[in-house]
């Protein structure tokens, strides 16, 4: 059975660097046997503002929640806007409050790869720290390897949108490997969890 790795992030600008980097991690996971789903900037822009008092959900909102519920691992990426997570990405994360009553709450047990891009160094650290805090609050496991890129000081993509920097390519591959390792461990535990439940019954 293939693990499902879900990517979330980007900006309203098509082909943004954060979205391309998330896609690159998903591609590396796919080469390792994963199936992948991407919720990029265009899809995130379709999501209404999260309203916790309302149970009504659009199809776009329901699709994102369903994908995260089915996920065996995640990649979440954001530009560093004013030293923090963008509103577009945060709104998508807030929507996942819908999973609070699930058997697997939020990101519990999932490996989560993080991607941050910014036009400067300062926002990279603060945004990455904020994202690690969000993942911890949602019971996920941030991978040791995070991807943070200063788009002003570093050459990230070529004219075709492919990652070109060797160190960045290596980080993408390593993050994908870490997400997949955690996903495979989680999947291997499923029969034992089922056997324990049956024995308890």
Domain boundaries, the chain: 4-200
pLDDT score recorded for residue 191: 55
Q: With the C-alpha atoms ordered 60, 190, 3, 165, is the resulting torsion angle positive or negative?
A: positive
Quote the CA–CA distance of 10 and 115 in Å, as a whole number.
10
Ranges of the chain whose pLDDT falls below 50: 192-201
pLDDT score recorded for residue 152: 82
pLDDT score recorded for residue 94: 97
- Asked if residues 149 and 125 have their Cβ atoms less than 8 Å apart, the reply is no
pLDDT score recorded for residue 159: 74
Tell which residue, 147, 134, 109, has the closest CA to residue 24.
147
Q: Would strands 84-85 and 35-39 be described as parallel, antiparallel, or unpaired? A: unpaired
CA torsion, ordered 148, 150, 156, 160, to nearest 10 deg: 110
| CATH placement of domain 4-200 | 3.40.50.360
In a 3-state reduction of DSSP, which class is residue 99?
helix
Q: Which two tokens stand for residue 20?
A: 């391309």
Tell which residue, 79, 8, 59, has the closest CA to residue 37.
8
**Whole-prediction pTM value?**
0.91
pLDDT score recorded for residue 190: 67
Q: Which two tokens stand for residue 200?
A: 């308890």
User: CA 169: distance to chain centroid?
Assistant: 18
pLDDT score recorded for residue 54: 86
Quote the CA–CA distance of 201 and 195 in Å, as a whole number.
10
pLDDT score recorded for residue 199: 43
pLDDT score recorded for residue 177: 98
Quote the CA–CA distance of 5 and 37 in Å, as a whole number.
7
């Amino acid at each position: 059975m293939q693990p499902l790795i879900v990517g979330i992030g980007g900006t309203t600008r098509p082909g943004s660097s954060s979205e391309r980097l998330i896609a690159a991690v998903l591609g590396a996971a796919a080469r390792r046997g994963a199936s992948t789903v991407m919720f990029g900037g265009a899809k995130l822009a379709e999501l209404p503002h999260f309203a916790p008092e309302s149970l009504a959900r659009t199809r776009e909102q329901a699709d994102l929640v369903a994908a995260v519920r089915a996920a065996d691992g995640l990649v979440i990426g954001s530009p560093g806007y004013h030293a923090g997570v963008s509103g577009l990405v945060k709104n998508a994360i807030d929507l996942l409050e819908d999973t609070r009553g699930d058997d697997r709450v939020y990101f519990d047990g999932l490996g989560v790869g993080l991607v941050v891009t910014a036009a400067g160094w300062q926002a990279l650290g603060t945004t990455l720290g904020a994202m690690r805090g969000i993942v911890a609050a949602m019971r996920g496991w941030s991978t040791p390897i995070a991807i943070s890129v200063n788009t002003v000081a570093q050459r990230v993509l070529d004219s075709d949108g492919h990652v070109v920097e060797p160190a960045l390519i290596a980080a993408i591959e390593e993050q994908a490997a870490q997400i997949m390792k955690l996903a495979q461990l989680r999947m291997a535990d499923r029969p034992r969890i089922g056997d324990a439940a049956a024995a308890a019954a």
